[in-house]
């Protein structure tokens, strides 16, 4: 019997389903881990891990060489291309591991933390593990096999961060509970992903294809490296200027801002990136998908930022405990960056799917400069609160820059981009109004931060849903208008039948 390939539409839809399940589970697990670990470990423990991750993530970005994203983006991934990418990735991983281990002493001296040397040596093994994961995971992503990636992510996170890390923290292992958990997470992911997609190290090496792949991979690698500076530059500045404990506190607050970005970022990275790469020659269709995605993300991320700002005190008390109250002002400032940090993933995905890797790298260089500059001046004049201001400004400017690049590549007019934000602004106003009416009476009724947080969040969700219901009835364009027209078509078809 002849095998009939499954239509791309069904594969993309199933990819969305599995990725959303994965992201929802991982988001829940991450919240649980944040709440539990913040009550056991100290800010200094998180700060030490933060220093180590700055070093290891930097070397991993170089070591992976961009071959994973390149395998996803190329129009045809032949066996020789895959073999070349896999072998090169592992070679880079070995070199990265050795380089990081040998430089551990110098890094510990630079940051002024003697214990950091052994932490970096231990985590350097992760460079080799990531190099073994890169190409098999890219092949799964390219073929929209999101179920396997979901299983790897959530099983690894559950075992390492929910079981291993809290258990070791309770036994008094301190920062080493975080280190062992980070390493075990990578090892478990490696085992699961390589069971789903073998490492592809056997095969024929093609020099010609290797050179073509390397050119594309270098662009991705450059973009990823510059993206590292934009994501870790503020941590470097905080740790270097303000100390290990300040870094631990800032890092916890920043993770709250990135939770919505994690929910949508993984979806775009794992589903929309390969799906859009398949349609890279059809800019009209890509443009429509981009506008709908931007509208949906705006309608969720903007209200989420409003909730985070209004309930910053309750979020910190419930999530981290009273000893972290000093980060409430930082959380309030970072709430203004929730939308920009989340929504730029739309443009990020479009630019990479079109293969505009050097345009992307240029924007990442600007972003990294803005983050480091904003964090430096903020730390100099207003400590971690100032860092938060500088970083939010950098994130906002990066969003504008990347959205402008996407609109140029997709030949979209500015008016359409602006209209894609209207639903988010509308729903945010309703959420803000709902919170304004609810928070005061709730605080008079109960002194429990948990009760206030739950009840106020419920009021925000009701306001948000009501605003979307109104928009669905009257908004003449966008995702909700498409849903309304589809329902009308179905109802009309049933009437005629």
Residue 23 has pLDDT above 80, yes or no: no
Q: In this predicted model, which residue has the larger pLDDT, 2 or 426?
A: 426
* Alpha helix (H) residue ranges in 207-311: 207-242, 244-267, 273-278, 283-310
The more confidently predicted of residues 32 and 485 is 32
In a domain, 364, yes or no: no
Q: Flag whether 319 is in a domain.
A: no
Mean local confidence (pLDDT), 481-495:
56
Res. 125: pLDDT tops 50: yes
**Residue 471 domain flag:** no
- Total domains in the chain come to 1
Percent helix / strand / coil, the chain, rounded to 5: 90, 0, 10
35 falls within a domain: yes
Structure tokens at 113: 């933390």
- Rounded-to-integer distance, Cα 438 and Cα 441, Å: 6
Q: What is the pLDDT of residue 181?
A: 93
Q: How far apart are CA 472 and CA 481, in angstroms?
A: 6
Q: Which domain holds residue 146?
A: 1-205
Per-residue pLDDT averaged across 37-44, rounded? 84
Residue 14 lies in a domain: yes
In a domain, 217, yes or no: no
Quote the CA–CA distance of 271 and 280 in Å, as a whole number: 14
Degrees to nearest 5, angle at CA 351 with 479 and 190: 95
The predicted-structure confidence for 243-298, as pLDDT tens digits, reads as follows 888 888 888 788 777 776 666 666 666 556 566 656 666 677 777 778 887 888 88
**Which of 184, 197, 236 minimizes the C-alpha distance to 77?**
197
Residue 157 falls inside a structural domain:
yes
Counting Cα atoms < 13 Å in the Cβ hemisphere of 441 gives 8
Task: Report the predicted TM-score, pTM, of the whole model to 2 decimal places.
Answer: 0.69
**388-412: pLDDT as tens digits:** 999 999 999 999 998 888 888 888 8
Residue 38, domain member (yes or no): yes
Measured between alpha carbons, how far is 238 from 101 in angstroms, rounded to an integer? 24
Query: Quick check: 373 and 231 in contact, CB under 8 A?
Result: no
Instruction: Give the closest residue to 378 by CA, choosing from 337, 325, 323.
Output: 337
Q: What is the DSSP string of 409-461?
A: HHT--HHHHHHTTHHHHHHHHHHHHHHHHHHHHHHHH---HHHHHHHHHHHHH
């Amino acid at each position: 019997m002849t095998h009939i390939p499954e239509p791309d539409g069904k594969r993309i839809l199933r990819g969305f389903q599995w990725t959303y399940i994965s992201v929802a589970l991982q988001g829940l697990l991450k919240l649980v881990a944040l709440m539990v670990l913040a009550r056991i470990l100290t800010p200094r423990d998180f700060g030490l891990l933060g220093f180590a991750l700055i070093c290891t993530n930097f070397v991993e970005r170089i070591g992976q060489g961009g071959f994973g994203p390149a395998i996803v983006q190329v129009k045809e991934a032949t066996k020789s291309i895959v073999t070349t990418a896999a072998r090169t990735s592992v070679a880079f991983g070995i070199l990265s591991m050795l380089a990081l281990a040998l430089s551990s002493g110098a890094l510990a001296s630079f940051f002024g933390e003697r214990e950091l040397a052994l932490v970096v040596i231990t985590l350097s093994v992760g460079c080799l593990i990531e190099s073994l994961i890169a190409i098999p995971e890219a092949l799964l992503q390219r073929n929209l096999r999101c179920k396997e990636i979901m299983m790897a992510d959530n099983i690894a996170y559950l075992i390492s961060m929910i079981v291993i890390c809290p258990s070791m923290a309770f036994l008094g292992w301190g920062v080493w509970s975080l280190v062992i958990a980070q390493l075990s997470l990578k090892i478990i992911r490696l085992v699961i992903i390589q069971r789903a997609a073998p490492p592809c190290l056997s095969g024929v090496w093609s020099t010609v294809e290797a050179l073509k792949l390397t050119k594309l991979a270098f662009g991705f690698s450059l973009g990823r490296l510059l993206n590292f500076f934009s994501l870790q530059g503020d941590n470097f500045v905080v740790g270097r200027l303000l100390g290990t404990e300040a870094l631990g506190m800032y890092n916890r607050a920043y993770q709250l801002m990135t939770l919505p970005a994690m929910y949508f970022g993984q979806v775009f990275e794992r589903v929309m990136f390969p799906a859009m790469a398949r349609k890279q020659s059809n800019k009209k269709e890509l443009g429509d998908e981009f506008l709908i995605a931007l509208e949906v993300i705006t309608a969720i991320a903007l209200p989420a930022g409003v909730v985070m700002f209004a309930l910053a005190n309750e979020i910190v008390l419930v999530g981290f405990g009273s000893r972290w109250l000093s980060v409430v002002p930082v959380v309030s400032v970072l709430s203004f960056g929730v939308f920009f940090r989340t929504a730029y993933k739309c443009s990020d995905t479009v630019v990479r799917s079109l293969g505009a890797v050097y345009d992307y790298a240029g924007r990442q260089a600007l972003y990294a400069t803005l983050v480091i500059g904003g964090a430096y001046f903020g730390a100099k004049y207003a400590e971690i609160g100032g860092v938060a201001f500088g970083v939010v400004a950098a994130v906002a400017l990066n969003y504008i820059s990347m959205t402008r690049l996407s609109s140029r590549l997709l030949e979209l007019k500015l008016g359409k981009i602006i209209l894609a934000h209207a639903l988010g602004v509308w729903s945010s106003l309703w959420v803000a109004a709902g919170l304004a009416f609810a928070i005061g009476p709730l605080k008079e009724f109960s002194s429990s931060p948990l009760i206030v947080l739950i009840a106020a969040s419920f009021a925000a969700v009701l306001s948000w849903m009501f605003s979307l219901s109104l928009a669905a009835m009257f908004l003449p364009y966008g995702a909700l208008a498409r849903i309304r027209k589809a329902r009308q078509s179905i109802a009309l078809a049933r009437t005629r039948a």
